[in-house]
Amino acid sequence: MLSKEDFEFVGTLGRAHGIQGEVSAKLSVDLSGLWEGADTSLFLMLEEQGLLIPYRVLKLRAKGDEIDLVTFSGITTKEEAEALTGRPVWLDRDYLSDEEAEELFELQHYVGYELYDASSDASIGVIEEIDDSTLNTLLRVRTHSDEELVLPISEELVDRLDIAEHRLYLHIPAGLLEL
């Protein structure tokens, strides 16, 4: 049986798109790199009654910045696609190395990850929100002492990522932890 510990939650399926089985998906990962470079089939796991069921992706295309359109093998009608609405989507971690994930995942994917100070390997707290509404993207972190901490995040500040443990290691600018 498939275990969720071997997979990464990456989003949720939306409504059917058109009449030929295509379904919209709001994903926290850019699958186009995996799709274009796939030597073999790309499978996404859909959660059904707590179990993960593999679905082979036949076609994948972007619809705007936040929505992808996916065609799965065996799903050929609007009604079949509508039956998938709201299903959680999981990706096998074997598709990703930690380095690849840094490039594939959208920042919103890290909500719920444990934040670590890269210089000391000390746990800071849990990332509760990513605020990208301004020029400087910010992390809102709930510390272990139940305080809110707001920290900047950029590609240059990310030291490393541990997908399996849901940990993000960040170079935190001097003095921000003392505020």
Say if CB 124 and CB 113 are below 8 A apart: no
Q: What is the pTM of this model?
A: 0.65
Residues 14-36 pLDDT 10s: 999 989 999 999 988 877 766 66
**How many whole angstroms separate alpha carbon 60 and alpha carbon 107?**
21
Picking from 26, 61, 95, the residue at the C-terminal end of a domain is 95
pLDDT band at 55 (very low <50, low <70, confident <90, very high): very high
| Residue 72 structural domain | 4-95
* Domain containing residue 71: CATH number: 2.40.30.60
Picking from 66, 95, 124, the residue at the C-terminal end of a domain is 95
**How many whole angstroms separate alpha carbon 56 and alpha carbon 10?**
16
Is residue 85 located within the same domain as residue 11? yes
Is residue 84 located within the same domain as residue 142? no
10-43 burial by CB neighbour count: b if 16+ within 10 A, else e? bbbbbebbeeebbbbbebbbebeebeeeeeeebb
Is residue 121 located within the same domain as residue 173? yes
57, part of any domain: yes
176 DSSP assignment: G
74, part of any domain: yes
Is residue 58 located within the same domain as residue 112? no
70-89 burial by CB neighbour count: b if 16+ within 10 A, else e? bbbeebeebeebeebeebeb
Is residue 89 located within the same domain as residue 52? yes
Residue type, 116: Y
